[in-house]
Amino acid sequence: MDDFKQPTTTSGSTSSMPLLILNCILLAVGITGGPLVMRLYFINGGDRVWLSSGLETAGWPLIIIVLIILHRHRRATNKYLPGKTTKSIYMRPRLFFATAVVGILTGLDDYLYAYGVARLPVSTSALIIAAQLGFTAVFAYLLVKQKFTPYSINAIVLLTIGAGILALDSSSDMPEGETEREYYLGFIMTVGAALLYGFVLPLVELTYEKAEQEITYTLVLEIQLVMCFFATLFCIAGMILAHDFQAIPKEADKFELGKVTYYLVLCASALIWQGFFLGAIGVVFCASSLLSGIIIAVCLPLTEILAVIFYNESFKADKGVSLVLCSWGFVSYFYGEYKLSKKTKAMTQSSQQSMELAQTV
């Protein structure tokens, strides 16, 4: 895996297409399945917001297993190379502390998002989170000087409009038995989550650039591990204050789908959300924070459709229009990247031919 490397001075370079595709899949599955599993917990009797927020990053021990496998692979490879040593930890202290701060911000974002999912239907929270793309674009421009093409600008506009169309009629989705105050507080919390994570993604990209060390995929996994560890610590502090640990056994006994299903839902939530976070920073590593935001935005309409199928949430014409606009925006972005790739390749070949011609002369 250490063959996949990204220079710290280059933002948005594609290190490996297979690795990028893998992280895109992890991100898509996480952002699609995570909200559905979390909502399943809340609509069947669960009401611990801090517990749900902690589960979003509680799967971090899985990364240790992957890192151990990679370490053994490197050690087995390096023993045939004279003088080649195998490091156990790549992260330097400066990068560790920066990542810890990002992890605490992620923990806060987890709480804001979990609060929103507890109060809003999945379809409504998903459309609000789509606004994250706009926040990501702004912060990417400010923090890492993200360059925009007409196609990426078109994608941002279409995806944002798609979310805005749904927002015009979101109040009609207010769950039964919920007060307007609870609903709108959930709405505000979800907007806050979109804003904060729109800042976190470019911040991760900036951390890569300022790391002053070579960024490999193994180091990306270490960054993910530290981020999730500190995010989980932040949420555990909240769980202790809210007495969530004492409430879990009682909540499991009263869960509508049964005690066993209750614990399965918690485990599934931790696993799926870990895939989301791993995919998100993996896409930032392979491409850019903007692409990570675009994949999140384009998957949200699919989350809405699945919510309609599994939870009988309403699906009106505005959601259909949003789905079309988001799909169009997604295609626009990748078509632009395809054209840019072809143009760059053609310029490189032309430069090489010119150099060869000059050498022959």
Query: pLDDT band at 257, cuts 50/70/90?
Result: very high
Quote the strand ranges of the chain, DSSP E: 5-6, 215-216
Buried residues in 172-200 as b, exposed as e (16+ CB within 10 A): ebbeeeeeeeebeebbebbbbbbbbbbbb
Nearest to 112 by CA among 128, 100, 98: 128
Mean pLDDT of 285-302: 78
Query: pLDDT band at 8, cuts 50/70/90?
Result: very low
Reported pTM: 0.78
pLDDT on residue 15: 45
> Who wins on pLDDT, 176 or 278?
278
Tell me the C-alpha distance between 58 and 357, whole Å. Answer: 58
Q: What is the mean pLDDT of the chain?
A: 81
Tell me the C-alpha distance between 228 and 109, whole Å. Answer: 12
> Who wins on pLDDT, 132 or 2?
132
pLDDT digits (tens, 9 = 90+) for 145-179: 777 778 777 877 877 777 667 656 555 566 666 77
pLDDT on residue 14: 40
Helix-strand-coil split of the chain, %, nearest 5:
80, 0, 20
- Cβ atoms < 10 Å from Cβ of 222: 19
Nearest to 59 by CA among 200, 221, 205, 220: 221
The pLDDT of residue 58 is above 90: yes
Note the Cα 125 to chain centre separation in Å: 15
Tell me what percent of the residues of the chain surpass a pLDDT of 90: 30
The pLDDT of residue 286 is above 80: yes
The pLDDT of residue 55 is above 70: yes
Tell me the C-alpha distance between 198 and 326, whole Å. Answer: 18
Query: pLDDT band at 13, cuts 50/70/90?
Result: very low
Query: pLDDT band at 198, cuts 50/70/90?
Result: confident
The pLDDT of residue 60 is above 90: yes
Tell me the C-alpha distance between 194 and 117, whole Å. Answer: 12
pLDDT on residue 4: 43
The pLDDT of residue 115 is above 50: yes
pLDDT digits (tens, 9 = 90+) for 130-143: 777 778 878 888 88
